[in-house]
Chain A
């Protein structure tokens, strides 16, 4: 597969135009505030690390203890209620409809849902 320079330039332009769009600035402000806060970042990193650890062990057939799962849910609650993380997620939710509208422009031309074909594997 080869991506032409024209497509790369067009994708960059779309990305830049989104980055500079006024509608997205409250989200970026919330994101920067989160990124500047060591405690918030560390808390979220801890959640992901714990999640992947528990998932891997569970998939390997290990029975997780009640204490471990409860500790995970408590950590998740802390992350979800952290003011900076909650603010970032709130602002992200607000811009999603706009991002969907922008993606619709691509999908309308292609006749297929761009977001389904383009979204990274989770």
Chain B
């Protein structure tokens, strides 16, 4: 990671509230090549027919496991096989590559926010899902 400069003045003349500052940061992140590549790869994966087919098959096995239908071992094995097939697709591998890049960028950004804020930002801002 190359951080060009972290020399930010301690006396910012303009005081903004956190939501405003978050929107400004969001706009800048949206314009990065990493985000554009991520969005492109995400759309490509979501529109890919093979991915959709594998996704539907995986959901069927997940449902069977969730409802405890017969042959749990078989469903688990099939789920693992389908997952492997999915991850081996070039389009998914490209998605994983750009996903790793955007994660690296966002984590670096989050470290800066956290350091200035004095509290872990993303970690504490995460909304807990019902099943998390």
Residues in B whose Cβ lies below 8 Å from that of A6: 28
The 0/1 profile, CB within 8 Å of B marked 1, for residues 79-120 of chain A is 000000000000010011001111101111111101111111
Interface size class, chain B: 35 or more
Q: Which of A18-26, A51-59, A63-71 contacts B (4 or more CB under 8 A)?
A: A18-26
In whole Å, how far is B116's beta carbon from the nearest beta carbon of chain A? Answer: 2
Instruction: Flag if B26 contacts A106 (CB, 8 Å).
Output: yes
B2 touches A105 (CB 8 A): no
- Contacts A3-B109, A118-B107, A118-B109 given; does A13 touch B29 at CB 8 Å: no
B interface, over-half SS: helix
Structural contact, B125 and A16, CB atoms closer than 8 A? no
Indicate whether A5 sits within 8 Å of B5 (C-beta atoms), given known contacts A10-B25, A16-B116: yes
Interface residues of B (CB under 8 A from A): 1-6, 8, 12, 15-30, 32, 34-35, 38-39, 42, 101-127
